[in-house]
Chain A
Amino acid sequence: MTSADSHETRQVMIRLEKLTKHYPGQQRNAVDGLDLDINEGEIVVLVGPSGCGKTTTMKMINRIIEPTSGRIILNGEDVTRTDADQLRRRIGYVIQQTGLFPHMTIGENVATVPKLLGWDKSRTDARVDELLNMVNMDPEIFRHRYPKQLSGGQQQRIGVARALGGDPTVLLMDEPFGAIDPITRDRLQNEFLRVQSEVRKTIVFVTHDIDEAIKMGDRIAIFKEGSQLAQYDTPEQILTAPADDFVAEFIGRGASLKRLNLSYVGDIDPRPWPTVSVSTSIAEARETLRNAAESALIVVDEAGRPHSWVSPEELNRAGEGSSLKEIGQTPRAIVEPRATLSDALNELIAARYAVTLVVDDTGKLQGVVDIEQINDSIRSMRASAVTEARASLGGEP
């Protein structure tokens, strides 16, 4: 989720030049003259309809599939013809079916590449523990278990840990979360993004799920049949300025809603809302509400955290002796700055006063977000995307 401008300045880690694969007996090339640059430290997602050559492209990078022609350049070095086994030890590899070795313990699985690299036992053991901790699997519990004693989600985590074993610079992932239920998948994606923010690998990620691509990708390469690049750009750009009808159709109707996944509540200024403290008297609260345009008050506790919503009716019904602590309704729609606008929208649709409360890390009220603000932010995203798309067109002869 880096900003659109930062990838220009970074170094190219993987460069594919005129990469072509022709399978014997097939009429068309599965991948045909593909040129693609992948920058250091970014997640590039290859996405496209089934059979368009995503897997073939990815597997040519570590030469599990040997290219028919073209070149693969890894960190400036041409690796198209070098020793494939040596190359693969530098490239992490995660596949959908996990491919864990069933006869080896989790610890032995994760130690695979360190052992191939000839690390000594203490270094290997330390690395295994570090990686298991990184993917949230307690080494004490899981180190000596066998793959079949783990759930699908846990196996996939081990798959990721194993791929990171030799601390590779590049990670290839082919639909790693494809065979996992939606809730677990969401959790694994978040977890993986957290791991990536620590390890900063260059990642090639294959999926056919556009939502996953938008969520995971710093840049997305949308493929047509035969690995033809339809568009290669940031998720923001692809959603707001699809290059052609193919891309627009592939993204589907929900493009505007999907865009909401890319902006965060923290990116917009929350709107103020009439607020009183719990220690305020009922009379004072009535006075505040009378002078406000809004139809209810937010009551916050001593620490400034949302305590309740109070309506005019509730204030009128309350006796003079009672306190704001005892009346009103607990607020439900609350988001943090890190939540996406999509989360905020979800909350506010069901909320009583059509706003969602924004709180900071300590739970202190910052203000509210309403549907108008979300709408404005979609509009400005679209405008800037169009400007950017125009600018890139203008640069060509």
Chain B
Amino acid sequence: MSTQAPHLKTANQETGVAGSRGLSQYLVMPVVLGIALLALYVYVSLQELDSIEERSLNAARLTRAVWEHIQLTAVSTLLTLLIAIPLGILLTRPFTRRIRPYIVTVLTVLQAVPTIAILVLLAVAFLFLGFAAAIVGLVLYAIVPVLLNTMVGLEQVDDAVLEAGRGMGMSRTTVLQKIELPLAIPVMLAGIRTALVINVGTAALVTYINAGGLGDIIVAGLSTNRIVVQIVGAALTAILALLIDYIAGLIEDLLRPRGL
């Protein structure tokens, strides 16, 4: 799924060139996704479905899978933010300068381990399965981009601006709230968006540890060798990923401070 993300990014950048995006440009993605959904529906209704396919592709089951998928993505991303952003702030304060390189190295190495390996490890070594285990795996994987972007975003703030703030009598906390964080937001949001896209894609894998999601549909299609089911599962995952990325983009545009 993650191959979809870079493709979408370039599309966004192209539309962004013209300055602030017009309303019509904001409408393009929902319309495209709507058409894709419609096409998928028409395609499936034109097929002669056998009983296995009928069972996999009923509305209740699909809705549940989509809903589980959204929950997995939302909860894991939220937890990621709750951990990574404060950690990122902490790791850019002067008093953590010494330990900073070690922590960043550990996290980067951790990210190089494939998620599926983490999931399997959790399941096999700790007999840890289901929703909670899936969340742990997803969070571990998504922390790094959010953390690194938070740190980069905070560190790229011009020293002169910070000195001016302190020089006028702002406390450290005020400087963080009023200057550093607002100026770091664009970079931080990019990291958060990456985490979201990673999570929505990786959530398709957690079916292997019984955590549900759209992965259920794909795996059902694979194990019964039903192409239509596989296509529906994959297409829904892709559409959901694109939709979430689109919403994240909207939020990014909304929260980006003016004047930058």
**Chain A contact residues, CB within 8 Å of chain B:** 62, 64, 85-89, 93, 95, 97-105, 112-113, 116, 146-148, 162-163, 165, 172
Contacts and interface: CB of A to CB of B under 8 A. Distances in A.
Given A146-B258, A146-B259, A147-B259, A101 B163 contact: no
Contacts, number: 72
A89 B163 contact: no
B164 A93 contact: yes
Interface in B129-179: 158, 160-161, 163-171, 174, 178-179
Interface of B: 158, 160-161, 163-171, 174, 178-179, 182-183, 257-260
Contacts of B183: 102-103
Contacts of A105: 259
Main secondary structure of the interface of B (DSSP, over half): helix
Contacts of A103: 179, 182-183, 257-260
Given A103-B183, A146-B259, A93 B160 contact: no
B66 to A, nearest CB: 38
A97 B183 CA distance: 17
Contacts of B166: 64, 88
A99 B259 contact: no
Contacts of B169: 85-89, 113, 116
Contacts of B174: 116
Contacts of A147: 259
Contacts of A148: 259-260
30 contacts: A62-B167, A64-B166, A64-B167, A86-B169, A88-B167, A88-B169, A89-B168, A93-B164, A93-B167, A93-B168, A95-B163, A95-B167, A97-B158, A98-B160, A99-B161, A99-B167, A100-B161, A101-B178, A102-B183, A103-B183, A103-B259, A104-B259, A105-B259, A112-B170, A113-B168, A116-B169, A147-B259, A163-B168, A165-B168, A172-B167
Contacts of B258: 103, 146
Given A146-B258, A146-B259, A101 B179 contact: yes
A95 to B, nearest CB: 6
A167 B168 CA distance: 12
Contact of B171 (A85, A97, A172): A85
Contacts of A97: 158, 160
Nearest to B183: A103
B160 A99 contact: yes
Contact of B163 (A87, A99, A113, A162): A99
A116 B178 CA distance: 12
Nearest to A148: B259
Contacts of B163: 64, 95, 99
A236 B100 CA distance: 54
A97 B161 CA distance: 8
A102 B179 CA distance: 9
B168 to A, nearest CB: 5
B157 to A, nearest CB: 9
Contacts of A101: 161, 164-165, 178-179
Contacts of B182: 103
A98 B182 CA distance: 19
A174 to B, nearest CB: 10
A85 B169 CA distance: 4
A199 B259 CA distance: 31
Q: Which 4 A-B pairs have the closest CB atoms?
A: A99-B164, A146-B259, A89-B169, A88-B169
Given A88-B167, A93-B167, A116-B174, 15 more contacts: A86-B169, A89-B168, A95-B163, A95-B167, A98-B160, A99-B165, A99-B167, A101-B165, A101-B179, A102-B260, A103-B182, A103-B183, A105-B259, A116-B170, A146-B259
